[in-house]
Amino acid sequence: MSTRNLKKIFFFFLAASLILSACLPSIFKRDDTSPEAIYTMAAQTVIAQYTRAAGETAVALLTQVSSGSPTATPPEQASPTSTTQAIIPSPTATVLFPTYTPLPPTFTPLLPTFTPLPPTFTPLPPTAVPPPCDWAQFVKDVTVPDGTDMLPGQTFTKVWRLRNIGSCSWNTSYALIYVSGDRMHTYNAVGLPGIVHPGNTIDLSVEFVAPDQPGDYRSYWMLRNSYGQAFGIGPNANKPFWVDIDVTPPQSQYPYDFALSMCMASWRSRADSSLPCPGSQSSSDGSAIMLTNPELENGRRENEPTLWMRPSQTHDGWITGEYPKYKVQSGDHFMAEIGCLEDNPGCDVTFYLAYQTSGGTVKNLGSWRETYDGFTTRLDIDLSSLAGKTVQFLLTVVNNGRASKATAFWLAPSIRRSTINPEWESMPAVQAARRRVAQDTGLSASQLIPTSVAAVTWTDTCLGVHLPGQICGEALIPGYRIILTDGRRNYEVHTNQDGSILAWFEI
């Protein structure tokens, strides 16, 4: 391209630039501050910058051509790189934007969504409530469970086992007290024997005497503290405990029973002309009490009604029971076993059996002294001389030793009637059997009454009674099987025909 043509091109671009420059001010005269106007103005500014840069580049090229510089490169031979550099704005160019102040955003607060959670419940430990100071718990009946059968006038000991479940200890100023029901001839209060700490148990006992009349009887009891306040068992410590018995009519196998008929007698002692019946085992005036399972001084325990007599508490004290009138029958015998009760060393007493006629004369039938020596005495008094008479029997005990140990007993004191078959009574074998058993047992022959006599032929020399170490030979021996009784026990006796050979055992 010639220099002439380059000049024409230069002036063409120069004219175009001037025309554009004249038009730009009118564009920016709009007072438009909207975001779209601002962006348009920025674009126009960039275009003006590019146009100015292009003009400057054209002027430079024209100058080089005019000066005839050898290093000038014709426009058609310019590299793409040179062309790009000619239209890119200078790195120092600064694009100006209008100042923009953003409006505060519209903020609509959202209310928080509240989902209530179930409350977390942590239970507090219960506040410990201390137990009442005085509070008892019934544990068990040690003796005499509810509904126990008793004979009229029978003495018995009731024992309750209680636990202290209160917060205070019981001491000897506390007492067991009667509160209601049937008192049954006992004390209103019985002191505690020792200290009972909370949580511990104690056995508390009271002596009772069964009423004379048949029926059901119940006695209610509680405890009393040192301030005189009563307390007991139950949730509120205000319930009583009790003893419950059933008194049944006496059933005697004898024509007359002195123990069962005890309270039909009139009792007196040296200290008092009229004693209550039944009496109290701790009375210093003396007492008469019935026992049903006494333990004798020889260690034997019995199960028959027993009359326990205590003289007045002096060295020469005595006690007497006068029984109602009784008409003696043929064959009557007075029978009993006498001695001292167990655990009473120092016991030294004299027993008397007497009777009184309608004229008031008292006659003695016998007397027996007993000491605590481990032996007892069996009595068998034949009353044949009194047959057909109406008399009153008197039973008396006199103390010879220690007053507190004078514990005399009459075991099964009774009148028993002999009903021996006259035919049996004349038999030598029967008489021999009665004598032999009486000798071996300590009974009298008159106490042993035959109830059965049967003829038997024994097949050996032992008469059918085989004892350890005994040698028996075969033999045919005619004889008898005899059953004897003393009213309490039965004995079987095997004899030959005349009773010269015999053997016996208890059945």
The reported pLDDT for the residue numbered 344 is 93
The reported pLDDT for the residue numbered 281 is 86
Interatomic CA distance for residues 378 and 336, integer angstroms: 6
Find the range with the poorest average confidence among 15-24, 74-83, 190-199, 347-356. 74-83
CB-based contact 482:453 (threshold 8 Å): yes
What are the residue ranges spanned by the domains of the chain?
3-87, 136-247, 256-417, 422-506
Find the range with the poorest average confidence among 88-92, 160-164, 207-211. 88-92
The amino acid occupying position 260 is: L
Question: Which of 190-199, 275-284, 383-392, 475-484 shows the highest mean pLDDT?
Answer: 190-199
What is the mean predicted confidence (pLDDT) over 296-308?
A: 90
The reported pLDDT for the residue numbered 88 is 46
3-state secondary structure of 127: coil
Burial profile 82-93: b = 16 or more Cβ within 10 angstroms, e = fewer: eeeebeeeeeee
CATH 2.60.40.10 fits domain 136-247: yes
Interatomic CA distance for residues 211 and 217, integer angstroms: 8
Other C-beta atoms closer than 10 Å to the C-beta of 412 total 23
Place of tokens 């009349």: 213
Selection from 288, 292, 295, 290 nearest residue 259 by Cα: 290
Average pLDDT score, the chain? 81
Q: What is the CA radius of gyration of the chain?
A: 66
Half-sphere exposure for 323 (CA within 13 Å, toward CB): 24
Own/partner contacts of 166-169, CB < 8 Å, gap of 24 or more, are 166/131, 166/132, 166/133, 166/134, 166/135, 166/136, 166/198, 166/231, 166/237, 167/130, 167/131, 167/132, 167/133, 167/198, 168/133, 168/134, 168/198, 168/225, 169/195, 169/196, 169/197, 169/198
List, for residues 240-273, the tens digit of each pLDDT value.
Answer: 999 999 988 766 678 889 998 888 899 999 998 8
Interatomic CA distance for residues 129 and 434, integer angstroms: 76
Structure tokens at 412: 């099964």
The reported pLDDT for the residue numbered 103 is 60
Selection from 409, 406, 397 nearest residue 354 by Cα: 397
What is the mean predicted confidence (pLDDT) over 123-139?
A: 81
Structure tokens at 357: 């006629």
CB-based contact 327:255 (threshold 8 Å): no
Its CATH architecture, for the domain 256-417, is Sandwich (2.60)
List, for residues 117-129, the tens digit of each pLDDT value.
Answer: 666 666 666 666 6
The reported pLDDT for the residue numbered 52 is 55
What does pTM read for this prediction? 0.49
Selection from 401, 505, 489, 400 nearest residue 443 by Cα: 489
pLDDT classification of 320: cutoffs 50, 70, 90 = very high
The reported pLDDT for the residue numbered 69 is 45
The reported pLDDT for the residue numbered 75 is 40
